[in-house]
Structure 1
Amino acid sequence: MKDEELQLRTVNVTRYVTPLREGGSLPAIAEADDQFLYVLKFRGAGQGTKALIAELIGGEIARLLGLRVPEIVFANLDVAFGRIEGDEEIQDLLKASVGLNLALHYLSGSITFDPLATRIDDPLASQIVWLDCLLMNVDRTARNTNMLWWHKELWLIDHGAALYFHHSWNDWSDPQKPFPLVKNHVLLLQAKALDKVSETFVPLLTKERIQNIVSLIPEEWLTTEGSPFATTLEHRNAYTQFLVNRVANADFFVKEAQYARAALI
């Protein structure tokens, strides 16, 4: 039986609530026409649509693997939305972000995960390290864990810094592309079960399921200036091929993470 085709809801932003000043992308809490609050990621921010693509792919792969991620939606921003905003920097960001953006459901009352205050079990830590090695996510460090503690459960957020090769597309097709920055992962010391996690996760990440996730990328996000691909189809297929190759060579990044962990012990 084939997997069902994935779909994301689309909402219309109705109210800009407050900026979140963490990082350089200036995300914001915003309200949509479904009456829910979202953390809105703007296409007009510094990394542009590439950060949104990484957020979308990373978040939906994490969800497929059974990890907790807030609902991801497409968020449409009307051309008139930023006219009443008083802050010029935010007004410029809103004007540059007209159209389709990305948003995550706002987990009201959540707190930033602190591994010193709240301990998670080693299998979960191993799952998260495995995911971030697959995605080459450089932004899950002690300084910025990009995890939230909500209702006594751990939630993953902000995968916008993953898949960083797509900012240049250099050596993207290398099936054993190194990820040395795994040494900085906040959960690396707890990642004692990477081999077992790999045995579970690799069969889940079939080519069909990866294609389903990549197919969610809006066409307009793939038409960026300076793209090395002749067509958006080639661009989309490159993401699929990178992830398929990465999964097929999971033993390589697992061993890389294990060596990095051994160096810390």
Structure 2
Amino acid sequence: MLTEVTATRYVTPMREGGSLPGLVEADDLTSYVMKFTGAGQGRKTLVAEVICGRLARRLGLRVPDLVALDLDPVIGLGEPDPEVQELLKASGGTNLGTRFLPRALGFDPLAYTVDPLEAGRIVWFDALINNVDRSWRNPNMLVWHGELWLIDHGASMIWHHNWRGAPAWAGKAYDATDHALAPYGPDIAAAAAELAPRVTPELLAEAAADVPDVWLVDEPGFDDPDAVRRAYADTLLERAATIHERVTLPERDATPNRRAPGWIQGAGR
């Protein structure tokens, strides 16, 4: 299960995303980017963040630590923005915290080079979870200590918005022509050979087990939270076996990749 911490200070809203996450400090003396259950996207966004983030970590990809972040809305009484106040009031209880990476830089495809093997692992993973939110317009990757970190998976696993259609998603293709890492020649076949055998029922059960029950209760069509967890695991397991055969990449540009300037290679050090 996720480590449980308590938010002790609301620092500032972070207006990069549509869900209006906030930077908070917690009782473990760590800063987190908090994503709220009361945001317009609802709790399924948080479920996707947990399952995809934990699965990525188990597959060796870099994702900031996730915690279950308990919120008492009173900590935001000094926040002057009425929109933020309403969000805090609607989000008392268990929310999601993503460890804040100080001095991290947003990934810039024009300034940072990525090895085809690493690019392949990330594109394959995004194909597995059907991540539609890693385009060159909005890469949702950070450069920290010279390495790529993946963030913001809330728009993934779109099938959980209509569970009746979930079985069909196992065979859906993934269009990576707009993916932020498409220009780097991602080696999808090598990624599949390495990662697909590791996506086992046990691994998926572990990732789904980290989702707090409170975000899964009362899901239409399911008897209890464990039944919802099994549905996530079943869909991802079937998808993992052959998704590499249905990834569409653009034709490669003959122009060599730009090399990252030294100040970017050392970002966050």
How many Å apart are 1:82 and its aligned residue? 3.5
How many Å apart are 1:189 and its aligned residue? 3.3
**Gapped regions of structure 2 (runs ≥ 5):** 254-269
What's 1:133 paired with? 127
Structure 1 residue identity aligned to 2:79: E
How many Å apart are 1:88 and its aligned residue? 1.3
How many Å apart are 1:172 and its aligned residue? 0.5
Of 175, 178, 190, the match for 2:184: 190
What's 1:61 paired with? 55
Report the more deviating stretch, 228-237 or 16-25: 228-237
Greater RCO structure (CA 8 Å; 6+ sep): 2
Give the match's secondary structure for 2:176: helix
Report the more deviating stretch, 189-198 or 80-89: 80-89
How many Å apart are 1:262 and its aligned residue? 4.7
How many Å apart are 1:78 and its aligned residue? 1.6
Query: How do 1:1-265 and structure 2 match up within 5 A?
Result: 7-174=1-168, 176-224=170-218, 227-248=220-241, 251=242, 253-257=243-247, 260-262=248-250
How many Å apart are 1:198 and its aligned residue? 0.6
Give the match's secondary structure for 1:46: coil
Distance in 2 of aligned mates of 1:263 and 1:171: 32
Structure 2 residue identity aligned to 1:243: L
How many Å apart are 1:175 and its aligned residue? 6.0
Distance in 2 of aligned mates of 1:114 and 1:95: 36
| Identical aligned residues as a percent | 43
How many Å apart are 1:133 and its aligned residue? 0.2
Give the match's secondary structure for 1:103: strand
Structure 2 residue identity aligned to 1:88: P
Give the match's secondary structure for 1:172: helix
How many Å apart are 1:93 and its aligned residue? 0.5
How many Å apart are 1:104 and its aligned residue? 0.9
Q: TM-score, normalised by structure 2?
A: 0.88
Structure 1 residue identity aligned to 2:17: G
After superposition, the Cα gap between the structure-2 partners of 1:168 and 1:29, relative to the gap in structure 1 and judged at 3 Å, is same
Report the more deviating stretch, 75-84 or 59-68: 75-84
8 Å CA contact retained: 2:176, 2:250: no
Count of residue pairs the alignment pairs up? 253
